[in-house]
Amino acid sequence: MKSLKLVVAVAAIALLGGCQSKVEYRDATETETVTVDFGSSDLQSVAAKMVDSMLTTPSVMVLTANDRPIVFVDKIKNKTSEHIDTESITDTISTRLLRSGQFRFVDMTKVETVRKQLDFQNNGGLVNPSTAIQFGRQIGAQYMLYGNLSSIVKQDGSTKDVYYKMTMRLMDLETGLIEWADEKEIRKQKNRSFLGL
């Protein structure tokens, strides 16, 4: 009985000693598989797929052949059961599209801040009127880029399966026509070991 207690005590000490944490830098583009939740690898995969698809679709290639269309990005709707920072997805996609040199963007999230600044310049009495930016001079967007992120989660015993689908569309604001649409699917599965790890 004493030897069994000794073995249990040694095992517990070894287990507790193995629970030390260590922080290290990793490659941000490296595949992360900590959980089945939506993560950085999924964000990068979705953004790359959407940008590549949009830039190589014939209808979009026609739009950008002789012009840099002005786009605004609507926040991606999170239709999953997880808390996912969809603003991060839209930021990555719009940044990649802007860096392609084929699009220009207006930032609808800053409209109120811009309005306050223009009001200050034109009505505050502190800015030289000849250098103040006038109201009504901004350029309107021609297209809207928007999308949805949805998921289906299934669990059976120790197996959890998560399916994600990201859908995006580019709409012509004047006509309401969809000029481009695509989707990216991701499926992740986790099997819990008999130890519950």
Return mean pLDDT, the chain: 85
CATH of the domain at 168: 3.40.50
**What token pair was written down for 175?**
């006509």
**Between β-strands 70-73 and 143-156, what pairing exists: parallel, antiparallel or unpaired?**
parallel
Burial class (CB in 10 A: 0-12, 13-18, 19+), 187: exposed
| Alpha helices (H) in 104-162, listed in sequence order | 111-123
| Alpha helices (H) in the chain, listed in sequence order | 2-17, 40-56, 58-63, 86-99, 111-123
Say what the pLDDT of residue 124 is.
Answer: 84
Flag whether 150 is in a domain.
Answer: yes
Residue 174 has pLDDT above 90, yes or no: yes
Number of domains in the chain: 1
Higher-scoring residue by pLDDT: 64, 2: 64
Flag whether 135 is in a domain.
Answer: no
The predicted-structure confidence for 107-144, as pLDDT tens digits, reads as follows 888 889 999 999 999 998 889 988 988 888 889 999 99
The predicted-structure confidence for 18-62, as pLDDT tens digits, reads as follows 556 777 766 656 666 666 677 778 888 899 999 999 999 999 999
Say what the pLDDT of residue 169 is.
Answer: 97
Say what the pLDDT of residue 75 is.
Answer: 87
Domain that holds residue 178: 34-127+140-191
